[in-house]
Amino acid sequence: MKKNCTESPICSKCGNTQSIICGLNDTDKNEISYRKDDGIYKKGDIIFKEGNNAHNLFCVHKGKIKLSKLGKDGKEQIVRFAKSGDILGYRSLLSNEPYHATATAMEESEICVIPKEVFQKIVEDNYKLSLNLIQLLSKDLKSAEQHLIDVAQKTVRERISEALLLLITSFGYLADGKTINVHMTRSEIADLAGTTTETTIRTLSQLSHDGIISLEGKNIVITNHTELIRNTNTYD
């Protein structure tokens, strides 16, 4: 559910320096600022749906988003996350396809909505931007392939350990440097690791029992990072 926001972020003054939009010149940024719409999405709100026609590029100004696809019997599979500075939907716009996944806000998020034509126009006269998009796609493809191997070959305990590490790289820690900076239900973690809710609950409490993590309400605290990595059974 999108609502209008009183003060819309201005692209040329956006704090997200790592965003792909930031590499653009001021003319382009101003064009985007002028044409874009701005939306606040509440926790659980759907930003776009898998299979729907793609009309916009989404630029996450603030918040946390999960990208998921529907699998067998409607079971959800989380494919990746997005946070401040990330852009969503560009793949569909570039190849004129429907959205590949469903984007859901994991917490209150502020997202700039840039119309398809504006984005396409800017890509057309920005060779540099197209190279950056290639980098982005390469990165996403690389992690998708890795995720594939993980899910295909690892045990549930290894996959859940991987999932926790992914949450850390995606969202980081709270100020204490050990509490994962995101709230997810056991069921969502299951959708990420490719297992069931019950097994996730059991495995997390095992990890907790083994002193690797600590479950404190909605928070997951990493108490032994080295051991967590060892539990993923990866060597690189």
Partner DNA sequence: CATTTTATATGATTTATATCATTATTATTT
Partner DNA sequence: AAATAATAATGATATAAATCATATAAAATG
Task: Find the part of the chain contacting DNA (CB under 7 A) among 60-68, 94-102, 123-131, 200-208.
Answer: 200-208
Residue 218 binding target from DNA, a second copy, none, CB below 5 to 8 Å by type: DNA
Minimum distance from residue 202 beta carbon to DNA (Å): 5
Q: How far is CA 105 from CA 138, 161, 162, 184, in A?
A: 24, 23, 22, 12
The three-class DSSP label of residue 108 is: coil
Q: How far apart are the first and last CA of the chain?
A: 42
**Range 85-124, binding a second copy (CB under 8 A):** 91, 94-95, 97, 100-101
E strand or H helix that includes residue 232 = helix 225-232
96 counts as binding DNA under rule CB under 7 A: no
139 counts as binding a second copy under rule CB under 8 A: yes
Among 1, 137, 198, 205, binds a second copy (CB under 8 A): 137
Task: Find the part of the chain contacting DNA (CB under 7 A) among 28-36, 128-136, 171-179, 202-210.
Answer: 202-210
Question: CA-based angle 107:113:114, to the nearest 5?
Answer: 150
Task: With beta carbons less than 8 A apart as the criterion, state whether 120 and 156 touch.
Answer: no
Among 8, 77, 197, 224, binds a second copy (CB under 8 A): 77
Among 217, 226, 235, 236, binds DNA (CB under 7 A): 217
Radius of gyration from C-alpha coordinates of the chain: 19
**Range 143-182, binding DNA (CB under 7 A):** 155-157
Please give the Cα distance from 166 to 135 (Å, whole number). 20
Please give the Cα distance from 93 to 236 (Å, whole number). 35
Binding mask 24-63 for a second copy (x = CB under 8 A): ----------------------------------------
Long-range contacts of 185-189 (CB under 8 A, 24+ apart): 188/66, 188/78, 189/160, 189/163
154 counts as binding a second copy under rule CB under 8 A: yes
- Which residues make Cβ contacts (< 8 Å) with residue 76, sequence separation at least 6? 68, 69, 70, 191
- The number of residues making up the chain comes to 236
Among 134, 185, 211, 230, binds DNA (CB under 7 A): 185
Task: With beta carbons less than 8 A apart as the criterion, state whether 60 and 84 touch.
Answer: yes
230 counts as binding a second copy under rule CB under 8 A: no
Interface contacts to a second copy, rule CB under 8 A: 69, 71-72, 75, 77, 79, 91, 94-95, 97, 100-101, 127, 130-131, 133-135, 137-142, 144-154, 158, 194, 233
Interface contacts to DNA, rule CB under 7 A: 155-157, 185-187, 194-199, 201-202, 204-205, 215, 217-218
